[in-house]
């Protein structure tokens, strides 16, 4: 291990840059995820700079223990603090691999306890109303319906949806080949309704949106200018459709439809392992939360519909 304070000691900034490069190149994390790590590590560098530390070899157990208080003083939510501590822990493990620090400082990092909040979902009839609100006979309406049906029918993340290439669609087999987090590929089946919406869009709308432009992006979903759809544009369109459907805009997001896909599958009898595979979850514990959502829905149904529930009292 390098001597503390030695001229050849490693600057924190250089270590962070090296670590972020590893995440992008060796682990294949997306640019957005790498940028999130970079933001988290800026908190560490600011914290250590206040303590006069700019070399990783000088970081002690006490320095890392104090970062939790540093984050708390900035009124960060528990989930945000936990994410920062995970990023810092990964950086310090990387430094340990390089022989720059020992294991002792890292043991000081403890993530704060978080309350596990249930994902928001729409009622099935609200989802139907949302999709119907997007129905128009122009190319934009056909595109939006196809995007909503694909999002709800395949449980994609919004980034997976807007970056979906034409080559990802197996039209005969009604399958999507999706590249998700960590560049991991998964195959997701498409139902008849979503497949039909995509077929209509590809035949009647996409050629009009592309016009005489070169198909440089080869993305399934295009803007009016013939380029790949953006997250921001889709978010805005989704909120507009929600308002037309009589649903509060802040209740709707692409992730809400992804949650609806998983919850409705579970309530329809699908097993957790299948849902995990379709969602692209690395860990089954991420999928298990939908069992809690399903139970919550069941309780609400009993309360509303059962003669002895709150809604059935006379």
Residues serving a catalytic function are 157, 181, 255, 258, 281, 290
Distance CA 292, CA 172 (A): 36
Question: Which two three-digit tokens encode residue 115?
Answer: 């309350």
DSSP class of residue 35 equals: H
Question: Which two three-digit tokens encode residue 305?
Answer: 């519909």
Sequence-distant contacts of 247-254: CB under 8 A, at least 24 apart: 247/122, 247/126, 247/129, 247/130, 251/120, 251/122, 252/122, 252/130, 253/120, 254/151, 254/157, 254/158, 254/161
Do 64 and 108 form a contact (C-beta atoms < 8 A)? yes
SS3 assignment, position 217? coil
Do 230 and 162 form a contact (C-beta atoms < 8 A)? yes
Rounded to the nearest 5°, which phi and psi values hold at 159? -65, -40
Strand order in the sheet with 175-179: 169-170, 175-179, 185-189
DSSP class of residue 114 equals: -
Helix (H) or strand (E) holding 255: helix 254-267
Do 54 and 11 form a contact (C-beta atoms < 8 A)? yes
Q: Which residues contact 127 (CB under 8 A, 6 or more apart)?
A: 152, 257, 260
Q: Tell me the C-alpha to C-alpha distance, in Å, between residue 228 and each of 164, 221, 236.
A: 9, 6, 15
């Amino acid at each position: 291990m390098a001597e503390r304070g030695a001229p050849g000691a490693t600057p924190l900034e250089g270590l962070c840059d090296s670590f972020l490069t590893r995440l992008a190149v060796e682990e294949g994390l997306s640019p957005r995820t790498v940028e999130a790590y970079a933001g988290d590590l800026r908190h560490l560098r600011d914290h250590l700079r206040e303590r006069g530390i700019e070399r990783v070899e000088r970081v002690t157990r006490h320095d890392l223990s104090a970062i939790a208080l540093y984050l708390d003083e900035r009124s960060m939510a528990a989930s945000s603090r936990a994410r920062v501590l995970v990023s810092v822990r990964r950086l310090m493990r990387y430094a340990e691999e390089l022989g720059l620090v020992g294991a002792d400082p890292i043991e000081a990092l403890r993530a704060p306890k978080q309350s596990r909040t249930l994902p928001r979902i729409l009622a099935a009839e609200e989802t139907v109303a949302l999709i119907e609100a997007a129905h128009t006979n122009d190319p934009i309406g056909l595109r939006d319906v196809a995007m909503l049906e694909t999002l709800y029918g395949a449980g994609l993340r919004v980034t997976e949806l807007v970056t979906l290439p034409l080559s990802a669609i197996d039209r005969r087999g009604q399958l999507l080949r999706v590249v998700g987090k960590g560049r991991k590929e998964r195959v997701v089946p498409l139902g008849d309704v979503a497949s039909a919406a995509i077929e209509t869009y590809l035949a009647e709308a996409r050629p009009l949106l592309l016009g005489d432009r070169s198909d440089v992006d080869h993305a399934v979903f295009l803007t009016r200018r013939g380029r790949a759809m953006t997250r921001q544009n889709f978010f805005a369109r989704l909120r507009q459709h929600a308002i037309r459907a009589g649903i509060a805009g802040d209740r709707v997001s692409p992730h809400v439809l992804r949650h609806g896909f998983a919850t409705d599958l579970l309530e329809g009898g699908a097993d957790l392992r299948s849902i995990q595979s379709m969602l692209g979850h690395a860990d089954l514990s991420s999928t298990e939360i939908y069992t809690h959502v399903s139970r919550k829905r069941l309780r609400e149904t009993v309360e509303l519909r059962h003669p002895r529930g709150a809604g059935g009292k006379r």
